[in-house]
Chain A
Amino acid sequence: MGKMRATLTALALTFSISHASAEVIKIGMIANFSGPFAVWGQQFRQSMEAFQKVNGKSIDGNEVQLIFRDNGGADPAKARQLAEELILREKINFLTGFDLTPSALAVADLITEAKMPTVIFNAATSVITRKSPYFVRTSQTVQQYVEPLPEWAVKEAGIKTSYTLVSDYAPGHDAEEIFVKKFEQAGGKMLGKDRIPLNVTDFAPYVERAAATGTASIYIFIPAGAPSISLVREFAKRGLKAKGVKLLAGGETQEVYLPSIGDDVIGTISSLHYTETNTNPENIALRKTLVEMFGPDATPDIGTVGAWDGMRLIYDGIKQFGPKITGDQFMGFVKGRKWNSPRGPIMIDPEERDIIQQIYMRRVEKRDGKLVNIDFFTTGMIKDPWKVANPNAK
């Protein structure tokens, strides 16, 4: 009887100790899981789950829980509401996600009030990280990856004229601004600029109007997903490729979208901060895990690496400061941090909490019967050009 009591006491003790020391760390994630941009939510989620498979679902015995919420379209008001719910009801420790810029901008003052560390997995407008000291970005800025493209087009490819087709929202304006600026600086001539509302799905009139100017190239910027696929298809359908018009792109020709576009896309040039075929050991491990978990067709994209590196940052922060890490501790921790991402070497800008990384120029090719991007040029570490040009803008 005495023995049993002792055992019970010991059991209760161990239980209460392990219970007291084990915290639950909650990471909330807001992205689109439905609607035209649903691919983002899926990629973020798969990446986060793959990261947990490799790095464990707990840190020093503290469980890390992922909570997903659907933004349900380009709806900033909904994003704000979801963020509020995650903070107040779910009591999350980290807020993450944000595929589209308007949603990220919408939560800026909320996370400042709540001192909620927020890791942006994609939203790429330069100004976002200046809107709250609790933002850190592990993805890219539009101007960062567009910058090398126009110069290459004019100087290396001998393209003298261009026409921009961008989505009419903040990142599209960023892309148009830097492309036009760099293209003209390099000696090229712009034949026109068009802005397409986000909800437009028929791109024929826009492509037609661009083609009518007799331009040698068309630069496009449109959020990746169903809309970007149909725009690239439209380009091929109008026979522009046959006429020798070059398509210049960014995230639109990522490997994950290439099968839906088809062989017409071969030869398209793009600049981006991640090439899926790169041979970094981190990238090979990432691709292997994705295929193991989600089947042979699982293909990483910029959303995948953004989420992967965001998780890396959060995990490393928790390892250093423990499960009760505060927003201010985490934000101090991320500044100036460097590590090897699947995309290559990256670091967090200590002043801007934004990412500094190399940009890769790629061409779509067919290798082993599969459409892929192949790097042909790599830049040095690039800081967001918009922030360099606008040191005080908010």
Chain B
Amino acid sequence: MSDQTAVKPPLEFTPPGSGLASMQLRDAWHLLPWVIAIAFYFVADGFHSFGTNVLIMILFTLSLDLALGYAGIITLGHAAFFGIGAYTAGIVAVHMTTDPIAGLIVATILAGILGILTGMLILHTQGVAMFMLTLAIASMFYEVANQWRSLTGGDDGLTVPRSAPLLAYFGFAGFRFDFRGMTGYLYTLSVVFVWFVIAWRIVKSPFGRSLDGIRQNPRRMRAIGTPVWWRLVAMYGISAAMAGTAGALQAQATRLVGLTSLELQLSGIVAVMLVLGGERRLYGAFLGAAFFMAVQDWAAAVNPVYWMFVIGGLLMAVVLFLEGGLMGLLDKIFGMFAGKRVENGQASPVEAKAGDAK
């Protein structure tokens, strides 16, 4: 297993300093997920709402990757922000405006603020204590939604009106959200793309690199003068805002917000998707979420009674046999083709695993 520690070119990293603009031909594969996503729109008749749900979970997984993967914040309460976003978008649509983008922005900002506030609290702790606090905070949000029936509908769920046409500003008629979910799919895809670019810039920025350092050795980072706590709070806030956007998108797509959007189970599932795809890889979220949901969809259709066994078995297989998740597997396959050619890589996020063990 010596290749585990070998310096390998991280797939999603271009050399430092080169932005999206200076992409070289060998980086063209970065376009692949987006080409697939757009192609899906044209060929997958009847699957658009499924595709939309996959995109939403990709965004949610990506948000967890920022917090758990890059910043090393161990959280099992990320559904709190997803749920906050979903309920906020739902409540905005019911009581204020059905403009989708307005709902999205309010939900994102509110989830971000709550992320910063709760982050300020939990990021004073570490390890098990932090883990417990994230759980506690998620449970609190869940109970608030459960009890505040007049606003959230409690166990009955909150029915959200259909969004007004997209971009219907300045007299423009906008794009109507159709029954088949085709507009919804493109809308969701665009939002995911915007967040992906932001996430990409963040993890490549000095700020993102400093979080890499904090995750591996917070003491040393503090010693060299990094404001560790603030950086973690900032990253947690960004991650929460992103999760809030995912929740808001789901509220608008499903037009129903239930308590399940705040449940522990959802926090668990998104962590599973992240591990499945591969942490600290950005595209891991794409693979993990898409693969998990496809298998779930297929298994539930084949056997509606025992489908959870399939999901459980799959998870065990990935954890036991696929280190680094599906992205790790791809690395190995491409590594074979490329004959373990070493490029001018920076310190790879994969190889950082070695430093993880404290």
Residues of A within 8 A of B (CB): 33-34, 41-42, 68-70, 73-78, 80-81, 84-85, 88-89, 101-102, 105-106, 109, 113-114, 167-170, 197-199
Q: A102-B155, A168-B155 are in contact. Are A77 and B49 (CB under 8 A)?
A: no
In the complex the two chains form, what is the Cα distance from A192 to B53 in whole Å?
A: 44
Q: Are B53 and A102 in contact (CB under 8 A)?
A: no
Of the candidates A41, A101, A102, the one whose C-beta lies within 8 Å of that of B258 is A102
Q: Are B254 and A81 in contact (CB under 8 A)?
A: yes
Q: Are B50 and A77 in contact (CB under 8 A)?
A: no
B165 at the interface (CB under 8 A from A): no
Nearest residue, chain A, Cβ from B155: A169
In the complex the two chains form, what is the Cα distance from A201 to B260 in whole Å?
A: 17
Q: Are B254 and A85 in contact (CB under 8 A)?
A: no
Report B-chain residues with C-beta under 8 Å of the C-beta of A73. Answer: 260
Report A-chain residues with C-beta under 8 Å of the C-beta of B179. Answer: 113-114
Of the candidates B146, B157, B305, the one whose C-beta lies within 8 Å of that of A76 is B157
Nearest residue, chain B, Cβ from A32: B304
B206 at the interface (CB under 8 A from A): no
Nearest residue, chain A, Cβ from B301: A69
Q: In terms of DSSP, what is the predominant structure of the interface of chain A?
A: helix
In the complex the two chains form, what is the Cα distance from A37 to B321 in whole Å?
A: 35
B128-185 residues with Cβ-Cβ distance < 8 A to A are: 146, 149, 154-157, 159, 162, 179-181
Q: A75-B258, A80-B254, A88-B46 are in contact. Are A105 and B159 (CB under 8 A)?
A: yes
Q: Are A68 and B180 in contact (CB under 8 A)?
A: no
Q: A80-B254, A113-B179 are in contact. Are A69 and B159 (CB under 8 A)?
A: no
Given A34-B308, A70-B304, A102-B155, 18 more A-B residue pairs with CB atoms under 8 Å apart are A34-B307, A41-B304, A69-B301, A69-B304, A70-B305, A74-B260, A75-B260, A76-B156, A77-B260, A81-B50, A85-B50, A88-B47, A89-B50, A102-B156, A102-B157, A106-B157, A170-B156, A197-B155
Residues of B within 8 A of A (CB): 46-47, 49-50, 53, 146, 149, 154-157, 159, 162, 179-181, 250, 254-261, 300-301, 304-305, 307-308
In the complex the two chains form, what is the Cα distance from A81 to B49 in whole Å?
A: 8
Q: Are B156 and A101 in contact (CB under 8 A)?
A: yes
Q: Are B157 and A197 in contact (CB under 8 A)?
A: no
Q: In terms of DSSP, what is the predominant structure of the interface of chain B?
A: helix
CB distance from A388 to the nearest CB of B (A): 23
Nearest residue, chain A, Cβ from B147: A197
Q: Are A77 and B156 in contact (CB under 8 A)?
A: no
In the complex the two chains form, what is the Cα distance from A41 to B304 in whole Å?
A: 9
Q: Are B258 and A76 in contact (CB under 8 A)?
A: yes
Nearest residue, chain B, Cβ from A79: B256
Report B-chain residues with C-beta under 8 Å of the C-beta of A197. Answer: 146, 154-155
Q: A69-B301, A70-B300, A70-B305 are in contact. Are A198 and B50 (CB under 8 A)?
A: no
Q: Are B260 and A85 in contact (CB under 8 A)?
A: no
Q: Are A33 and B304 in contact (CB under 8 A)?
A: yes
Nearest residue, chain A, Cβ from B257: A77
Report B-chain residues with C-beta under 8 Å of the C-beta of A34. Answer: 305, 307-308
Q: Are A77 and B304 in contact (CB under 8 A)?
A: no
Nearest residue, chain B, Cβ from A42: B305
Q: Are A88 and B159 in contact (CB under 8 A)?
A: no
In the complex the two chains form, what is the Cα distance from A85 to B45 in whole Å?
A: 11
Q: Are B304 and A85 in contact (CB under 8 A)?
A: no
Of the candidates B47, B149, B261, B300, the one whose C-beta lies within 8 Å of that of A89 is B47
In the complex the two chains form, what is the Cα distance from A81 to B253 in whole Å?
A: 9
Report A-chain residues with C-beta under 8 Å of the C-beta of B257. Answer: 77
B149, B155, B301, B308: which has the most chain A beta carbons within 10 Å? B155
Of the candidates A109, A113, A198, the one whose C-beta lies within 8 Å of that of B155 is A198
Of the candidates B250, B256, B300, the one whose C-beta lies within 8 Å of that of A69 is B300
Of the candidates B46, B156, B180, B301, the one whose C-beta lies within 8 Å of that of A105 is B156
Q: A84-B181, A102-B156 are in contact. Are A77 and B254 (CB under 8 A)?
A: yes
